[in-house]
Amino acid sequence: MRILGIETSCDETSAAVVEETGDAAKPWAIRSNVIASQVQIHREWGGVVPELASRQHIRDICGVVERALEEAKTTWRDLGAVAVTQGPGLVGSLLIGVSFAKAAAAAAGLPLVAVHHLAGHIESLVLQNGELPLPSVVLVVSGGHTSLYLVERPGSYHLLSRTRDDAAGEAYDKVAKLLGLPYPGGPVIDRLAKTGNDRAVALPTTRLTHADRNAPQLKGDLDFSFSGLKTAVLRHVRTHEGPLSHTEVADVAASFQRIVVASLIEKLFDAARRHGAASVGVSGGVSANSRLRAELQERGNRREIPTFLPSLQLSTDNAAMIAAAGLRRYRAGVTASLDLNADAALPL
């Protein structure tokens, strides 16, 4: 069976065709994955402007879907279902994908499958690598989320911890902005950090020991926090005499990145040990980070636990991961009705 996936939760309009392989170990294959990025539009404003994002999704959605079908050599008649990101994300952006998917499913007489954006990020690991050795601890780290999930059975996602304040990607974007670097900050800081000294600037690490009052069901000691780090960078820039030189900016970038990556890796492996994980994975936009990828692999080798990452294209938002998560859900017998609504704060 082939499924059409649609993703419009933030500033990428994406459509993909993914098909089942019949191989239980590597269940899905990508036939197409078309991504229209709005980065150029939002860069001028230093971040995503929701109203501009939804208007651009409307302009792009038809062409992106047509191209995804064309590249996959697939017609509407060859499809078995339509999967779409229901949430979380920007509600105006989500609504474009959800409305399009409902209309397409109704017109083509196909079942509709609603997908949680983070389930998509988690399944990007399976799409890339095949089924993970379970139980697996997966870190989803993006512009909107920094969360650890325990996957005990395929398609089950149990939240272990999350960020108390900023997401890691959000911290990258904010730190880039205060260093005068363009949006999105993640790739820019990643590139600059390679030339900087990662011990040049003393920045604080965060250690949370108390439970989160807002999430009493979680223990809290595996939680993340990045706002203190961001404030420390701000203080460093403000108290610096005059503007930072290019080298000094690279040093801040490298020092900031060292601490973010260390905190992500440390919590991930701590959770893996506590839950007796047979593998660990990292997905979401920040999993494109070169230092995070290198340290994950190195630490995995040392700990002798298999580590998994998506390809760079499957790290940031894309519809192939939504299609994959959609296939998982469809095979579990879950479909959505045509009164499906977008949900900006959809829980997983």
Q: What are the residues binding ligand KG4 (CB under 6 A)?
A: 10, 142-144, 169-170, 172-173, 184-187, 190, 284-286, 288-289, 316-317
Minimum distance between the CB of residue 102 and ligand KG4, rounded to whole angstroms? 22
Pick one of ligand KG4, Zn ion, none as the site partner of residue 123 (Cβ within 5 to 8 A by kind). none
Q: Closer to Zn ion at the Cβ: 260 or 305? A: 260
Quick one: which of 8, 142, 147, 318 contacts Zn ion (CB under 5 A)? Answer: 142
Tell which residue, 211, 321, 330, 189, has the closest CA to residue 259: 189
CA–CA gap between residue 239 and residue 241 (Å, rounded): 6
Q: Closer to ligand KG4 at the Cβ: 305 or 342? A: 342
Check if the beta carbon of residue 296 is closer than 8 Å to that of residue 264: no
Interface with Zn ion by CB under 5 A: which range of 68-76, 155-163, 216-224, 315-323?
315-323
Tell which residue, 17, 113, 141, 142, has the closest CA to residue 330: 113
Interface with Zn ion by CB under 5 A: which range of 151-159, 258-266, 292-300, 311-319?
311-319
Pick one of Zn ion, ligand KG4, none as the site partner of residue 97 (Cβ within 5 to 8 A by kind). none
Distances (CA, A) of 88 to 35, 58, 114: 19, 19, 12
Q: Closer to ligand KG4 at the Cβ: 263 or 316? A: 316
Residue whose tokens read 């920094």: 146
Tell which residue, 12, 316, 345, 280, has the closest CA to residue 141: 316
Minimum distance between the CB of residue 310 and ligand KG4, rounded to whole angstroms? 10
Minimum distance between the CB of residue 186 and Zn ion, rounded to whole angstroms? 12
Pick one of ligand KG4, Zn ion, none as the site partner of residue 316 (Cβ within 5 to 8 A by kind). ligand KG4
CA–CA gap between residue 178 and residue 175 (Å, rounded): 5
DSSP letter string, 186-210: HHHHHHHHTTS-TTSS--PPP---S
Rg (CA), the chain: 20
CA–CA gap between residue 6 and residue 89 (Å, rounded): 14
Minimum distance between the CB of residue 330 and Zn ion, rounded to whole angstroms? 21
CA angle 159, 299, 140 (to 5 degrees): 25
Pick one of Zn ion, ligand KG4, none as the site partner of residue 60 (Cβ within 5 to 8 A by kind). none
CA–CA gap between residue 86 and residue 47 (Å, rounded): 22
Minimum distance between the CB of residue 250 and Zn ion, rounded to whole angstroms? 27
Minimum distance between the CB of residue 140 and Zn ion, rounded to whole angstroms? 8
Pick one of Zn ion, ligand KG4, none as the site partner of residue 84 (Cβ within 5 to 8 A by kind). none
Quick one: which of 139, 317, 327, 329 contacts Zn ion (CB under 5 A)? Answer: 317
Shortest Cβ contact with Zn ion: which residue? 142
Minimum distance between the CB of residue 56 and ligand KG4, rounded to whole angstroms? 16
Pick one of Zn ion, ligand KG4, none as the site partner of residue 253 (Cβ within 5 to 8 A by kind). none
Q: Closer to Zn ion at the Cβ: 142 or 279? A: 142
Longest dimension (CA), the chain: 65
CA–CA gap between residue 320 and residue 22 (Å, rounded): 18
Pick one of Zn ion, ligand KG4, none as the site partner of residue 169 (Cβ within 5 to 8 A by kind). ligand KG4
Six token digits for residue 186: 């993640």
Q: Residue numbers of the site for Zn ion (CB under 5 A)?
A: 142, 317
